[in-house]
Structure 1
Amino acid sequence: MFPDASAERGDADYVLVGAPLDRSTTFQPGARFGPRRVRHFAKTFDDYDNRTGSRFSELGVHDAGNLDPFEDVTEYLDFLAGMLGDAVDDGAVPLLVGGEHTVTAAGVRATDPDVLVCLDAHLDLRESYAGDEYSHATVTRHVLDVADRAVVLGARAGSEAEYERAERDDVTVVPPGDVADWEPDFDDESTVYCSVDIDAADPGFAPGTGTMEPFGLEPRELRAVVRSVAPSTVGFDLVEVNDRDDGQTAALGAKLLREFVYTHAHARVDD
């Protein structure tokens, strides 16, 4: 169980689901261990958050465990979307912990947002990769079948075709050097799905990921983005954490997830 996620399912305002899908990782596999490691390395965090004056254990978070992958990825994503959609129907915000980035497609289907805000080193706008149309390198393209727009923050890698696709009006790419100055440019009525691909962080901070890309973001920059979009967010995920480090990547990811919940819950109280 994710530490301090102590709410019963029927009382939950947030439902956490682990999705250990690890079938198309491009370089270093291990994302299947992400949910377990994120839960484990969150154990040292204090329950109390001084910034918001709240306790994580009192914010209505329920850990529903993992949904283990099926052999057919399309069936798995459909089932995962249905599971997350049940949480949405019950008035809860889904918190999805991958697993590879492909699982974001299920989170977006379940929540039907206007905008995807994605922290990611890669554009993930390919039609397919290595003959696989559901590769983790295609997830932003799949999301755009549902959402009206994608904002990719921290991107610094992609094919020529991906950068050409990113020039359309429904995609905004913010390179690492501009993320610190970025502010949400959508209106207050827009609903947002926030996806944190941990490889958006510089590998010096998060080496435990499948496809490391140097010259990335610092942890405080990721935190600032999560905090800025949390009030408008209807679903959140953390993906691409693996087991190839000493836990610093999982700890960073777990902390960002907690920052999201603290900020989102605080905004609810203010409203």
Structure 2
Amino acid sequence: MFPGARADRTAARYVVVGAPLDVSTTFQPGTRFGPDRVRRFSRTFDDYDHHTDSRFTDLSVHDAGDVHAWDDAGDYLQFLRGTLTDVLADGATPLLVGGEHTVTRAGVEAVTERDDSPDDLTFVCLDAHLDLREEYDGNPLSHATVTRHVLDHADRAVILGARTGSEAEWERASEPDVTVVPPSEVADWTPDFDGQAYLSVDIDGADPAFAPGTGTMEPFGLTSREMHRVVRAVAPRALGFDVVEVNDRDDGQAATLAGKLLRAFVFAHAAAGDGTADAEDESVDAEREP
């Protein structure tokens, strides 16, 4: 169980769902261990959050465990989408813990395909990679294709911290429905879009100095503080959240950061109300964090 996620499923406002998919990792596998490691390395966190003057155990979080993964990514994503759709139908916000980044597709589809889906959805992603490929090594469901697939459902994508991609990906990123914010500009970025969001955190958006436990490390990345500020700024507008690409190849740095960012999302989202609030006030507060 994610520490502090002790609410009953029927009364939960937030539901943690583990998605240990690990079939298309292109360098260092191990994301199948991600959900368990995030839970494990979150055990030492204090319950109280001074930014919001609230306690995690008071915010009605439930841990539904893992959706056991299998080799057919397409079938798995469809099943996972159904699980997340049930969470949303019950009036709760899904907190998806990967697993490879491919699982984000299920989260976005669940948010956009429900009866009361938003008219205007922005996909906000902290990521080292553009993930705009049509396929990778012949696999159209590779984790390197997730943002391209998400754009079949979201109106636009904002990729924060991207610093690598193929020539074709950078060309796709130049189109009007994609905004790339380089690492050097993330510290000054504020949510400048209308409507609601889906927030995805690929832990490799962090510089490897902060989170070496991930499949494809990229230097010159974000600090943990910059990622924290973005999560807290976007959370008030978010209908869903995920943190992905944590593996077991470090001493817990990546999992610890992932767990902290998940909790930061819950604290900020709960403080804002129903996830439809203006993120401006939260982003201003985030600028003041120590």
Q: Same fold (TM over 0.5)?
A: yes
Indicate the SS of the match to 1:117.
strand
Given candidates 238, 241, 244, the residue that maps to 1:239 is 244
| Aligned mates of 1:58, 1:110 — CA distance in 2 | 26
| Aligned mates of 1:22, 1:14 — CA distance in 2 | 25
Indicate the SS of the match to 1:85.
helix
Indicate the SS of the match to 2:75.
helix
- Change in CA separation of 1:269 and 1:174 when aligned onto 2, cut-off 3 Å: closer
Alpha-carbon offset, residue 42 of structure 1: 0.1
Question: Which aligned runs of 4 or more in structure 1 are off by greater than 6 angstroms?
Answer: none
Alignment correspondent of 2:286:
none
Alignment correspondent of 1:70:
70
| Aligned mates of 2:71, 2:265 — CA distance in 1 | 32
- The answer to whether the 8 A contact 2:23-2:71 is kept is no
Given candidates 125, 150, 161, the residue that maps to 2:157 is 150
Alignment correspondent of 1:222:
227
Structure-to-structure mapping, 1:91-102, within 5 angstroms: 91-102=91-102
Alignment correspondent of 1:178:
185
Indicate the SS of the match to 2:198.
strand
Give the number of equivalent residue pairs: 269
Alignment correspondent of 2:136:
129
Alpha-carbon offset, residue 71 of structure 1: 2.6
Given candidates 123, 130, 134, the residue that maps to 1:116 is 123
Give percent identity, aligned residues only: 68
Indicate the SS of the match to 2:145.
helix
Indicate the SS of the match to 1:151.
strand
Q: Does 1:29 align with 2:34?
A: no
Alpha-carbon offset, residue 269 of structure 1: 7.7
The gaps in structure 1 that reach 5 residues or longer are none
- Change in CA separation of 1:233 and 1:269 when aligned onto 2, cut-off 3 Å: closer
Alignment correspondent of 2:85:
85
Indicate the SS of the match to 1:195.
strand
RMSD (CA atoms): 1.1
